[in-house]
Structure 1
Amino acid sequence: MTLRKRLLWLFTPLLALTLVFAYGLSERILLSRFDVQDRVLLLNDVERLRSRLDTLVTRNLDLLKTYAEWDDSYEFMQGKYPDFVRSNMDEQSLALLGFDFMIYLDLKGQVVTEQWQPPELEEMLSVGSLRPSSYESLRLDILQLGKQLAQQSATEQDLDGRGQLLMLQGTPLLLGASPITNSQSYAAPIGTLIAGHFIDAERFESLQSQVDGKLQLTEPVSETLHWRTLVMPADSSLNGLKISPRRLLDNQQQQLDLQFSNQLNQPNLALRIDEGRRLRQEGQQAIWFFLLLTVTVGVLALLLIYLCLEFWVLRRLQRIHREVTLISANNSLPRLADQGNDELGQLARALNNMFERLSQSESREQLILDSINEGYFEVDTSGKLISANDALANIFGYNRTELQGRDFKQILNEDDTLRTQTLLQQLAGGSSDNILASQFKRRDGSVGHFEARLAAMHDHQGQIIGWRGIVRDTSEQMAYQNQLIDMAYRDPLTGLGNRKAFGEQLQSCLEQMQRKQQTLALLYLDLDHFKEVNDQFGHDIGDLLLQTIAERLRNALRQPDWAYRLGGDEFTVLLPEADQQTALKLAERLISRLSQPFKHGDVLIDFVTPSIGIALYPEHAKYAEGLIKAADIAMYEAKEQRNRACIYQPAKLSPPE
């Protein structure tokens, strides 16, 4: 990470932490205060709405009481004013009073007269899907409520009347009742006057104007355990008002429910106020504006700091870095040009002194490395060659420049690459095994055997930064060892595998076939009349015949390495994953090729033919000894008729497994 990035990552978290801290304080202190003010505004809306409804109820009760304590109404109920209805209860008079209906009841609760002027059913407000079905149903329910109000007034001897806010068939309603008496109010009541009006869209709009939020009708609730009862003024005409706890819908909206009490045990009028959290939103905007200003100031400060560091520190460091990267052994001292008197100038002079000592040290080390006969190398953690001596370049046929930057995987095959990576991992884990013996590819494409001793290179923090090693060419030694091994497992006359190679290979094949659950065929060959060749023509001709037979045998097989000479004129062939039919076909091909005449100079030999015995694993035997014995028995059976192949017949002769 560059110094610029480090400075940026140092300053940016501090700025971010400051902003988060400032925002957290504003959320906890300022926004909470704004939220309290939003709650106060919502309660102010509730108070204005209550006052407005109280005024409506009081006005209606006052008008109702005026009519109920009017001498004309008193005389009408006594039957002394027959024109009262025509003169005082027409539609125009009802509209001037603001009532949608007016009903006169006698002491028995019977309707004396009534006047109705309700709004259209479609224009009436309603809650949910419940709406009035007809005017007649509304009339009957209102009469029933009016009678209940009249009974309560008579029982409690209340001469001032009663007003109620109700929900009737889902429709909001203001209903009032007052005893009918004379204007001096000394006469005993002779009936009850009931009047009221529906809260239609126009009246609801008047209520909506009292609040800043959105007002809507809701269904009354019965569970009001956590609701707060609003204390009513002494002169209030309303019975009571309950307020629900404030609900926060989101960061922008708040909600509160109101429910008015009544004395008729009827559904109460319930309202809901949805209002924006205006002060909180404005406060949040102010906070974001403040944070934006803070970020702007912080960015400007960061820019100013960057410019100061850029011109006074970073550019000088960059120049020192550029000069350091250009340093080579041919540079004349001083190598760094910065000669300031501050800390950076002192650093440049100290680096010049260090480079001079380092140059002398590297020259001595390189001289020592170039004087040794074994190859020396250094690679980084990715496997790129970063240093080598002349001996390593000569070993692989490159010059030192061509070796620089070359990947070690380019001179190893895939298996040796994986083995090398495993060894390096073990060395990194603390293993003491540091010798790698492997084949390496030279520049001319030839492959040699080499042995390398590896060691890890560490930085000042102890981290592995690469690997170094000494390489020794062991090609001649490996060739000699392979020659010894080949002599131990190769028949010197024919070049085929000998009896020892056959025994080890047979055992290995049997184990492999057992794992794979496959079959194996063993062919046992013997040359008929071969003794006569030695007797008539001498052992030299016999050896030439054996060499020819071995060559023909190799050419007849897809895998020549599976043919062996056990000694004398006895040969064997292994056929892994072969059945009886495959073995017989190969045996016929071998008989055809090996029976061809042999000619050397004036000598013609056409009487030597092979006899072949065949045994199958696991059909005839499950172990090597038993399989060899079965093939040998089959071979002797073939020799009885000469020049033929026989499959071992366990029914006739069954050798032990």
Structure 2
Amino acid sequence: MTLRKRLFWLFAPLLLLALGFAYLLSQSLILSRFDRQDAALLDAEAKRLQALLDHNLKRNLDLVLSYAKWDDTYDFMRGQHPDYVRRNMDPEALQQINFDFMLLLDEQDRVQAEQWMPPDLPDMITLGSERPRDYRSLRDAIVEQIRRLHQPGREDLRGQIVVVQGVPLVLAMGGISNNQDSLPSLGTLVAGHFIDGERSELLQSQVNGSLRLLPPDVDHDGWRALPTLGTANLNRIEISPRRVLDENRQQLDLLFRNSLGEPQLLMELTRERRLYQEGRKAISIFLAEATGVGLIAWVLIYLGLEFGIMRRVSRMHRDISAIGPDSNHQRIRDSGNDELGSLSQEVNRMLERLEQSETRDREILDAIQDGYFELDHDGHITAINRALCGMLGYSEEELLGNSFEALMEQEDLERAVDQLTRAHQTGDNVRFVAPLQRRDGSRGHYETRFSIIHDGQNTFAGYRGIMRDISDQVAYQNRLLDMAYTDPLTGLHNRKAFTEQLPLALEKTRRSGDQLALIYLDLDRFKEVNDRFGHDIGDLLLQGIAERLRGAMRQPDQVYRLGGDEFTLIVAGGNAEVAQRVALRLLATLKQPMQIEQQVIDFVTPSIGIALYPEHADDAESLVKAADSAMYEAKRERGRACLYRPQRLSSSRQSG
């Protein structure tokens, strides 16, 4: 972004701060007040809904009591007026008083008379997954629920909303007595109606908001109980905390419990946040007007900056842009006596110090013995010193601008990328050792330590590294490693190498599903050579045996001397036939007389034991024991090869 734009946008934070402060102030003072008023209206609407339900229950109870506290009803329960049901509980009468059913229960809660006029099953509202199978099952479930809710000694005013088989309904109950309510109760009269679609819509029309009936399957923590408005309603009603759905809607729930305290249904009441919306509109108009005033002031400030400062700054910018790596001693020409002039002088002095620093850094880097380099984000070389060129044999022009990938093999390159990525992510210095390609085609081993380069804004800018040639050290370590795994007398691999490489060979064979043969070889009568001719001749004989073994094997690196006159051979992919052919070739080779100095030795013969994987053993230790056992079986007659047999060692003299 140019300085002109920066100065132009300088006023933006102040304008945004003022508008933001006004917005927050309006939110905290005005909108919060409107929101509280909306919450109060929602709470009042919930209480009004409670009052509506209480009023309906009171009306139902009055109707129920008009039947229950009636001499005809009392006489019917005493066995008189057999036509009571026909005259007083016919469907037309129930429909006129808005009841879907009426039941007369005696003191033992047995049904003495009943009348049902329920709506069609599809018209009933059901909550949750439960549905009534038919009218009969629904009727039996309602009667059972009435018996559960009936409390002896409370046959007077009682009404509540319950849910049976997922169907919400309103019950009203009263004790049966005479007109003066002076005689003892003979039972209970129960009437009610289902909350079907039509009644639900009627209730919705009386509420200032959206109303939904739901099953009570929510967490009720933090809910508060609404105070009871009268004695008609036995439901305990709990109200949830208000929920703000979005900028336009708010919501709360009313939980209805029956007289036993069991949750029955949930009424979800949703209402618009009308006052909040009107407040937002008023605040939007105010902020729009304030923004317009701020923009006008913004333009006036920009014009002042343009004609008072920016033209001079533009000239300084052109002078600074013209300064590059090849423009030594070029300076800014502004010489004013104000702040911009002082800035120009400081920039000129900084350029002088920078030129001196770059010259000094270059001299230091060229004087050190270790190689130094820098890489950009993409791994291209951007800076090197003289020592690095000498290590690799390349000129500065051949390295600068090229990627370091050209100096490495693919396997080493992947490790290098991983190390650079780790350095970038953690910020730690990392150490990396790998061979690099020299200009003459040879490969040398180098140790490199990477670190991260950050620019003046502390932003990642690339990598720098110090490189040291460790080729001689790596070669020395390799020689030590070879000595640890090589028999010094014969030059073959030793027992340590065999112990480590046999399990690896078995694992490789297991993965490939192939076979492997292990050959154990022991020299018969070797002790006589040491006793008759001395240990020097014995050592020379062992060296000659080792040379013949190397010559007889396609892979001489799989021949091992375990110590003394014992040797072992690993034959990869060797089945019984292949192993026996190898053993015959070894017998034929090693039985030939050997002349050492002035002595001809023709009495030393080999005994060979063979074990197969996985036929004879499935691990290294067992395979070694099997081959060793076969070798001792071969030594009984000397100069032969014996294949291991699990039950008995089968031996046959082998001939070349």
Normalised to the residue count of structure 1, the TM-score between the two structures is: 0.47
Task: Please identify the structure whose Cα radius of gyration is greater.
Answer: 1
